Amino acid sequence: MDAALRTGTTLPFAWYSDPDVLARERERIFGAHWLYVTHTGRVPEPRCLAGCTAGDAPVLLARDDDGALRAFLNVCRHRGCLLVDGDVRRASIQCPYHAWTYGLDGSILAAPRSEREPDFDTSQLGLRPLAVETWGPFVFVHPDPDAAPLAETLGHLPNLIESAGLDVAELRFRHRAESTYAANWKVCCENFLECYHCQVAHPGLARVLDVSPDSYRLEESRWFSSQFGPVKARWSGAFDPTGPVPRGQFHFVFPNVTINIVPGHPNLSIGSVLPDGPERTTRFLDYFFMPDADERWVQQMLSWDNQVGAEDVALVERVQRGVRSGLLERGVLFESERLIAHFDRLVREALGA
């Protein structure tokens, strides 16, 4: 047997630029899984509305008069206009195009001139509901309103994060960082899923965390995978990684949710990797800290984290330029990249390939 096949192989390189593959992924992956969209601080009380995005789907979050969190497709049933931008407070939801109006439960309340239409049936024209659940301050939605509970996707991940000394319910949102990549979304996810490249490409990270294969631990579950990086005995770098959070934890929830915990003081960043075309990706990270976090430490850690992110942009864009050549069928995966193999397996399952 060919040595490369014994080691492991990537997805076909053609899948990283083919628009037909992306169309299938949007339907069978992003349209069929729980996706992180935002934090509960955007809808803290009744009559708060927030517009956000899950994959290609525009999402409307609404806190109804009883305080229940609801999610709908953020699209008017009349002609498809987006309903809400940003964060607003309203007793109802009104389309800015023709003033169709909906209750916070999604039911249609008014449609101007509907009395002139003999067959107009309001019971069939409420907003399309989505499943919505929270984990601490983190809001997830699923396109299927009857989806299996979020807990089935998260599994024991909340316990792993609790073991880092973090109570996610105590964390407070700090800010959102957004970035774009000239690369396929899968290239970006696969880059997150291995630290084989860290010693070479992230010298600042490697001065803080022990990324050697004997110390840097990898674990996989059904729908998520985890990386654990201990602090080096003789660390050096831009921020102090000592504190109540003893090691780095980096989790990935299929299909596109990344979670980072840096050693030192309590912190967590969570966000989504979103396709914006076959060879373009957008990504956001929501950063959370304790309310009394030391500002100097936060700024130093964020500067270190931003440097790692900038290095990753260059890496994934170099990979995209390589895989689009069409002259190689696929690549090779080592044991240190077995979380990529896990991700690739889930992609193949979803696409029926």
Model pTM greater than 0.85?
yes
Domain residue ranges of the chain, discontinuous segments joined by +: 3-30+155-351, 35-146
Confidence at residue 1, expressed as pLDDT on a 0 to 100 scale: 34
DSSP tag of 116: G
- Three-class SS string for 303-325? HHHHHHHHHHHHHHHHHHHHHCC
Confidence at residue 184, expressed as pLDDT on a 0 to 100 scale: 98
How far out from the chain centre does Cα 250 lie?
13
Confidence at residue 2, expressed as pLDDT on a 0 to 100 scale: 41
Confidence at residue 164, expressed as pLDDT on a 0 to 100 scale: 86
What is the mean predicted confidence (pLDDT) over 144-172? 96
- The most distant pair of C-alpha atoms in the chain lies apart, rounded to whole Å, by 78
How far out from the chain centre does Cα 262 lie?
18
Assign domain 3-30+155-351 to a CATH class: alpha beta
> What residues contact 74, with CB distance under 8 A and at least 6 apart?
51, 58, 59, 60, 82, 83, 84
- The reply to whether 3-30+155-351 and 35-146 are identical in fold is no
Confidence at residue 322, expressed as pLDDT on a 0 to 100 scale: 96
Give the pLDDT band of residue 353 (cuts 50, 70, 90): confident
DSSP, residue by residue, 58-114: EEEEEE-TTS-EEEEESB-TTT--B---SEEE-SSEE-TTT--EE-TTS-EEE-TTG
Q: Which residue has the higher pLDDT, 94 or 238?
A: 94
Confidence at residue 237, expressed as pLDDT on a 0 to 100 scale: 86
- pLDDT, tens digit, for every residue of 53-80? 998 899 999 999 999 999 999 999 999 9
Name the token pair of 306. 């931003």
Give the pLDDT band of residue 7 (cuts 50, 70, 90): low
CATH homologous superfamily, domain 35-146: Rieske [2Fe-2S] iron-sulphur domain (2.102.10.10)
- pLDDT, tens digit, for every residue of 214-260? 999 999 999 999 999 999 999 998 899 999 999 999 999 999 999 99
Q: Which residue has the higher pLDDT, 237 or 47?
A: 47
What is the mean predicted confidence (pLDDT) over 284-299? 97
CB 169 within 8 A of CB 67: no
DSSP, residue by residue, 227-294: EEEEBPTT--SSS---SSB-EEEEEEETTTEEEEE-SBSSEEEEEEEEESSTT-EEEEEEEEE-TT--
Taking the CA atoms of the chain, what radius of gyration do you get in angstroms? 22
Confidence at residue 311, expressed as pLDDT on a 0 to 100 scale: 97
Strands ordered across the beta sheet of 138-142: 35-39, 138-142, 129-135, 69-73, 57-63, 48-54, 87-89
- The rounded distance, in Å, linking the Cα atoms of 128 and 117 is 22
Peptide bond into 230 cis (omega under 30): no
